[in-house]
């Protein structure tokens, strides 16, 4: 009877959750799937210009940093305008939800110059694993023009499985069905290519090369190309196209079981934290105060503004600072550091930009700048002088120091060997000056296994260890399970806390800030954090930022909203995760179904248990096993597009198990009473 009641409740709850964010409409013009009853129908559309030899292409993608793009939202319609990187091809795209499991993409493309290419295409890409035994049907004026059984399809010498004229294409497999109807008949062809930089790395640059294989994907995705411009573009060419997409398929409502291992507590959790790089004095203070008053912030990270502190090599920066002769932003950052210290929030100091005198003019990499190693002593004196000034004049002794994102040169670049050299030199210098500040190892812009290589020369040199305080990475790129396991391994090798010093999923999002309010984006961010908690067992996750830049609040002009200052879903995600008690130890936890991310922690001394899970799919029953006898009841909290850390129910533990129903596309936390 209990199972029947749960199923009935599941059906009821499914009806309560509205069909929010059905299509995932991105600010660069791609549609990254449709949610049907919470289930993700996984595909991606894009605009592509392919080179003449079919070796590479450029596509509409999120990390296109050049030019100016627009992104606006009007009810169920998203409008984007930009251009394909390195081409004269401008585009406008309107993506509109037209019903449950339906979306329309309307494109206008215009060539502002001549461009040599194989063609410009609207590409519809699906996971190869979803259509291993699937079929694809081509229609022209409601008559079938061709059909392929994908398991037995053979590539031609041009790399295509089929090429013909069509205005509608139907994909069918055991679990997925897609229909793409074009506004007019065009040449359509099917390919199956690997990418040199696949999307799962969360590092999708617009320019890509086709690859022969992939280290993680056994089967390449299928790409269906609709020809928009055949061959070279000519200046002045302008075309309009529309595509109606329908998606349906099997909805995974299978019950989920999580198993906790309380006998093997891992690394310690301190709490959520934030970045406070003071940039916008007219709006930053109100957001900072709101977040400090409303969130339990355990650590902070500020900018040293080195280029302001010591602009001229032979000046006395402390003397200038005390005379009030540095830029206003410098003092605003110092006052903020003092404010954080007054709240007993430790401060990390990081350098973004270096003054000209400290840069090696003869060693300029593709991105960022190298520091001049011949001026190591002067560099150490400059940095220690700042940290001493911060301590002596503002009462703040930095707990950690780093150069920001040196793996990718934002804006100082270091090789792994240079990273070790500077960690040792500056760490030793700070100790000699009587500062307790330690070096932050890594602090990389990428959360990838490749970026992780920067920490190993320091780990392998025991003479550096006394100067190191923690290992850190940022979450904008990578963060696959393989990547995160590499970071966890490095922290274990040197036995240091591991931190996320910049949390977020898109470092380019400031170019199209309305994306911060999209439910899919906000759920994706907390999903990344929960996976990190499970695989890396971090001491903290530091949101970028708890200021008006990438704000977790809206209103008062933020995101174009002139209403009162108030939390977004991202704020509630942080608050809910931050409710995990400081001093908790992360616990191993496993899940038997896909689409669920989970983490668990226990403050053993206080008998307080925390369980977090993100349900990325449809509503379903969740069973959690392995709960110790000392925990009797748990309060269930929910954050999603409609709820902000709302207590939904209290569930009881019986025989080490509890059970509840999770709604679709939602973040749940269970805290023991």
| pLDDT(19) > 70 | no
Mean pLDDT of 464-478: 97
3-class secondary structure, 452: helix
Q: What is the pLDDT of residue 368?
A: 87
Only one residue has tokens 């270096």, namely 354
For residue 581, what is the DSSP state?
A: P
Q: What is the pLDDT of residue 5?
A: 44
Q: What is the pLDDT of residue 204?
A: 80
Q: By the 8 A CB rule, do 173 and 151 touch? A: no
For 299-330, what is each residue's pLDDT tens digit? 999 999 999 999 999 999 999 999 999 999 99
For 519-556, what is each residue's pLDDT tens digit? 999 999 999 999 999 999 999 999 999 999 999 999 99
* Residue 21 falls in which region: left (phi positive, over 0), alpha (psi -120 to 50) or beta: left
Pick from 2-11, 122-131, 494-503: least confident: 2-11
pLDDT confidence bin for 16, thresholds 50/70/90: very low
Cα 290 to Cα 67, 109, 274, 548, 565, distances in angstroms:
34, 44, 13, 11, 9
For 644-667, what is each residue's pLDDT tens digit? 999 999 999 999 999 999 999 999
| pLDDT(294) > 60 | yes
3-state helix, strand, coil in the chain (%, to 5): 25, 35, 40
Give me the residue spans of the domains in the chain: 17-249, 277-580
| pLDDT(123) > 70 | yes
* Topology of the domain covering 17-249: Beta-galactosidase; Chain A, domain 5 (2.70.98)
Count CB neighbours of 157 within 10 A: 5
Q: What is the pLDDT of residue 2?
A: 43
Q: By the 8 A CB rule, do 10 and 661 touch? A: yes
Mean of pLDDT over the chain: 95
Mean pLDDT of 615-620: 97
pLDDT over 70 for what percent of the chain?
A: 97
Only one residue has tokens 């973040």, namely 667
| pLDDT(160) > 80 | yes
Pick from 11-15, 38-42, 103-107, 275-279: least confident: 11-15
For residue 463, what is the DSSP state?
A: G
Q: By the 8 A CB rule, do 485 and 448 touch? A: no
Mean pLDDT of 426-446: 98
Only one residue has tokens 């990718």, namely 408
Q: What is the pLDDT of residue 13?
A: 38
Q: What is the pLDDT of residue 88?
A: 98
Q: Specify the CATH superfamily of domain 277-580.
A: Glycosidases (3.20.20.80)
Bridge pairing between strands 89-99 and 553-554: unpaired
For 594-607, what is each residue's pLDDT tens digit? 999 999 999 999 99
Q: By the 8 A CB rule, do 93 and 75 touch? A: no
| pLDDT(1) > 50 | no
Closest C-alpha among 514, 518, 643 to residue 575: 643
For 49-105, what is each residue's pLDDT tens digit? 999 999 999 999 999 999 999 999 998 999 999 999 999 999 999 999 999 999 999
Distance, CA of 331 to CA of 329 (rounded, Å): 5
Pick from 215-224, 240-249, 455-464, 487-496: least confident: 215-224
Mean pLDDT of 425-452: 97
Cα 152 to Cα 64, 133, 228, distances in angstroms:
37, 9, 28
For 352-411, what is each residue's pLDDT tens digit? 999 999 999 987 777 789 999 999 999 999 999 999 999 999 999 999 999 999 999 999
């Amino acid at each position: 009877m209990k199972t029947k009641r749960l199923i009935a409740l599941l059906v009821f709850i499914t009806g309560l959750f509205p069909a929010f964010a059905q299509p995932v409409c991105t600010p660069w013009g791609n549609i990254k799937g449709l949610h049907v009853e919470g289930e993700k129908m996984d595909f991606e559309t894009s605009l592509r210009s392919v080179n003449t030899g079919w070796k590479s292409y450029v596509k509409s993608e999120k990390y296109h940093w050049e030019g100016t793009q627009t992104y606006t939202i009007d009810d169920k319609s998203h409008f984007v305008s930009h251009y394909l990187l390195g081409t004269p091809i401008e585009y406008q795209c309107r993506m509109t939800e037209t019903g449950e499991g339906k979306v329309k993409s309307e494109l206008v493309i215009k060539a502002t110059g001549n461009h040599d290419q194989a063609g410009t295409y609207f590409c519809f890409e699906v996971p190869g694993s979803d259509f291993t035994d699937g079929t694809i049907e081509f229609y022209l004026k409601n008559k079938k023009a061709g059909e392929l059984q994908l398991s037995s399809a053979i590539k031609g010498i041009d790399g295509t499985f089929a090429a013909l004229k069509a205005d509608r294409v139907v994909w069918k497999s055991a679990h997925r069905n897609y229909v793409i109807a074009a506004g007019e008949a065009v040449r359509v062809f099917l390919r199956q290519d690997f990418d040199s930089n696949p999307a799962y790395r969360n590092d999708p640059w617009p320019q890509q090369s086709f690859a022969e294989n992939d280290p993680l994907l056994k089967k390449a995705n299928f790409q269906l190309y609709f020809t928009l411009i055949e061959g070279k573009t000519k200046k002045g060419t302008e075309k309009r196209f529309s595509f109606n997409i329908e998606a349906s398929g099997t909805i995974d409502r299978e019950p989920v079981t999580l198993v906790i291992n309380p006998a093997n507590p891992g690394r310690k959790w301190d709490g959520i934290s934030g970045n406070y790089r003071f940039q916008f004095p007219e709006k930053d203070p109100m957001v900072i105060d709101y977040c400090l008053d409303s969130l339990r912030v355990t650590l902070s990270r500020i900018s040293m503004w080195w280029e302001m502190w010591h602009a001229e090599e032979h000046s006395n920066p402390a003397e200038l600072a005390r005379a009030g002769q540095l830029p206003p932003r410098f003092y605003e950052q110092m006052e903020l550091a003092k404010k954080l210290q007054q709240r007993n929030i430790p401060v990390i100091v990081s350098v973004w930009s270096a003054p000209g005198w400290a840069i090696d003019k003869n060693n300029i990499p593709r991105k960022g700048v190298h520091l001049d190693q011949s001026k190591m002593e002067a560099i150490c004196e400059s940095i220690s002088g700042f940290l001493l000034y911060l301590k002596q004049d503002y009462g703040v002794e930095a707990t950690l120091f780093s150069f920001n994102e040196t793996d990718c040169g934002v804006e100082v670049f270091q090789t792994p060997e240079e990273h070790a050299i500077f960690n040792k030199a500056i760490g030793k210098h700070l100790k000699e000056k009587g500062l307790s500040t330690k070096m932050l190892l890594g602090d990389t812009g990428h959360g990838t296994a490749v970026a992780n290589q920067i920490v190993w020369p320091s780990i392998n040199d025991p003479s550096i260890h006394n100067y190191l305080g923690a290992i850190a990475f940022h979450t904008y790129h990578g963060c696959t399970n393989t990547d995160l396991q590499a970071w966890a391994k490095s922290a274990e090798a040197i036995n240091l806390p591991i931190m996320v010093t910049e949390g977020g999923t898109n470092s380019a999002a400031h170019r199209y800030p309305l994306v911060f309010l999209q439910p899919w984006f906000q759920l994706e961010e907390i999903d990344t954090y929960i996976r990190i908690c499970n695989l890396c067992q971090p001491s903290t996750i530091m949101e970028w930022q708890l200021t008006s830049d990438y704000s977790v609040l809206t209103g008062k002009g933020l995101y174009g909203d002139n209403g009162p200052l108030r939390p977004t879903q991202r704020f509630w995600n942080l608050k809910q995760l931050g409710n995990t008690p400081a001093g908790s130890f992360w616990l191993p936890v496993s899940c038997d179904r896909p689409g669920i991310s989970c983490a668990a922690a226990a403050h053993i001394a206080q008998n307080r248990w925390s369980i977090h899970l993100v349900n990325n799919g449809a509503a379903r029953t969740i069973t959690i096993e392995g709960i110790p006898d000392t925990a009797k009841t748990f309060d269930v909290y929910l954050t999603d597009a409609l709820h902000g850390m709302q207590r939904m129910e209290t569930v009881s533990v019986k025989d080490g198990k509890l059970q509840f129903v999770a709604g679709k596309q939602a973040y749940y936390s269970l805290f023991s009473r």
